[in-house]
Structure formats: structure tokens, C-alpha cells
């Protein structure tokens, strides 16, 4: 089955919505290191556990649909496998000298 079929799967869409909501809560409540976080440690740990369960179930669904996840976490300073080339550097064919 294709990835589009997986996106039509209601459970997968629910998992995606839950993941987006939980990560938005984490981002919206983020505080500088010197301030006390508004969420309790138990709540933060519960969010972590939920996100791990969501990821595990997403992987199971992908396996059921015969898909392999190409998404991998990476550090911002990690070299990218994608190389961007400026359009300005792309030149046309140079005429041959006769």
C-alpha cells in the first residue's frame, strides 16, 4: 500500500494530530533554563511517554502498510546529505570555439 493510503487511515491521522498537539504544548510552555517550567515533572514525563507510544504505533502502522520511515532525527550541526546549488552557478553550455 502507498503512503497516501496510510494518511487516509483514521488511526494514523489521530496519532499525527496527537503528536502535533503534544509537541505544540511543549513548545508553547518552553521557558528559559533559569525559570521554573509551568508543567510539573510528572506531566513532562507523561508527555514523553505519550510521544514514545505514538512513535511506536506509527512505526507499527507503517510496517503493516509495507512502508519504511525515511524520517530520522538529526542535529542542527550535522552535515546534510542534501546539497543546495545556487541557480546563479548553473550555467548554460558554452559555445565551442571554432
pTM of the model: 0.64
Q: Which residues of 40-68 are buried (b: 16+ CB within 10 A; e: fewer)?
A: eeeeeeebeeeeeebeeebeeeeeeeeee
Percent of the chain with pLDDT over 70: 80
* Contact between residue 18 and residue 82 where contact means Cβ atoms under 8 Å apart: no
Q: What is the pLDDT of residues 23-36, one digit of tens each?
A: 999 999 998 888 98
Using pLDDT thresholds of 50, 70 and 90, give the confidence band for residue 95. low
Domains in the chain: boundaries: 3-64
Amino acid at each position: 500500500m502507498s503512503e497516501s493510503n496510510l494518511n487516509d487511515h483514521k488511526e494514523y491521522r489521530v496519532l499525527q494530530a496527537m503528536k502535533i498537539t503534544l509537541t505544540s504544548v511543549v513548545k508553547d510552555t518552553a521557558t528559559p533554563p533559569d525559570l521554573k517550567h509551568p508543567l510539573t515533572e510528572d506531566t513532562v514525563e507523561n508527555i514523553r511517554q505519550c510521544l514514545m507510544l505514538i512513535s511506536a504505533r506509527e512505526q507499527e502502522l507503517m510496517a503493516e502498510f509495507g512502508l519504511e520511515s525515511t524520517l530520522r532525527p538529526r542535529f542542527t550541526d550535522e552535515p546534510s546529505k542534501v546539497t543546495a546549488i545556487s541557480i546563479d552557478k548553473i550555467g548554460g553550455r558554452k559555445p565551442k570555439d571554432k
